[in-house]
């Protein structure tokens, strides 16, 4: 099995956790802070963090346009939490100057599940992972997370919040994992649970696509 080189956007957020998970599933992680570090990547991870800060730092590090161009050319990507927001085409409840990469035809609502004190965990059915024989649910950790309000016709919904995950029920049925071609995104943080299956899913996707710029 090949060890694809997968970048981890390293301007802010859960960089080390994603790098460790990628290494554990047989990929070679590379921190990305400069446009030149996009060269030779087979895929890239956009970690959780603070989405508006990350969007500003993409400009500071002169990464925004080069990364947007690579994604438009078919570079596989995985975004968790803030990474999902950055990959989206439309963002609700964000700053007017926040930028996004238009790699997923989705509308996301930033901080949709509430404040830090309203963070929660839930067991999720995840298409492509838990529908295999004897696979347990994926544990989703939601920390000031977005949810997906709507999806375009090319987007596959991979996971939704089960009923009863939060006391008020407002999270029931909300979309929290999507895929469009070679781009994957989750509202939650698999990098903090020790469950490597989402990263393995993405690494397998990267191998299948075999991206060449």
CATH number at 90 reads: 3.40.50.880
| Of residues 12, 58, 13, the one with CA closest to residue 35 | 58
| Of residues 110, 114, 111, the one with CA closest to residue 91 | 110
DSSP state for residue 51 in the 8-state scheme: H
What amino acid positions are annotated as catalytic residues? 81, 189, 191
Say if CB 151 and CB 162 are below 8 A apart: no
CA end-to-end span of the chain, whole Å? Answer: 22
- pTM of the full structure: 0.94
Q: In this predicted model, what pLDDT tens digit does every residue of 45-59 receive, in sequence order? A: 999 877 888 888 888
Q: In this predicted model, what pLDDT tens digit does every residue of 116-139 receive, in sequence order? A: 546 789 999 999 999 988 899 999
Question: What's the domain count of the chain?
Answer: 1
Q: Domain of 64? A: 5-209
């Amino acid at each position: 099995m090949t060890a694809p080189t997968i970048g981890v956007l390293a301007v802010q957020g859960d960089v080390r956790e994603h790098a460790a998970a990628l290494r554990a599933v047989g990929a070679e992680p590379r921190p990305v802070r400069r446009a030149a570090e996009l060269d030779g990547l087979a895929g890239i991870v956009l970690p959780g963090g603070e989405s508006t800060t990350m969007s500003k730092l993409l400009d500071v590090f002169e990464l925004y346009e080069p990364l947007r161009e690579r994604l438009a050319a078919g570079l596989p990507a995985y975004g968790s939490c803030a990474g999902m927001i950055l990959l989206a085409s439309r963002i609700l409840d964000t700053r007017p100057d926040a930028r996004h990469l238009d790699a997923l035809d989705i509308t996301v609502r930033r901080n949709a599940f509430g404040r830090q004190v309203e963070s929660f965990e839930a067991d999720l059915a995840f298409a492509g992972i838990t529908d295999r024989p004897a696979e347990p649910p994926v544990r989703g950790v939601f920390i000031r997370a977005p949810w997906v309000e709507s999806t375009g016709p090319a987007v596959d919904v991979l996971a939704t919040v089960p009923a009863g995950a939060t006391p008020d029920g407002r999270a029931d049925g909300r979309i929290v994992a999507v895929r469009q071609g070679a781009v994957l995104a989750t509202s939650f943080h698999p990098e903090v649970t020790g469950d490597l299956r989402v990263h393995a899913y993405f690494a397998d996707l990267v191998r299948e696509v075999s991206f060449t710029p």
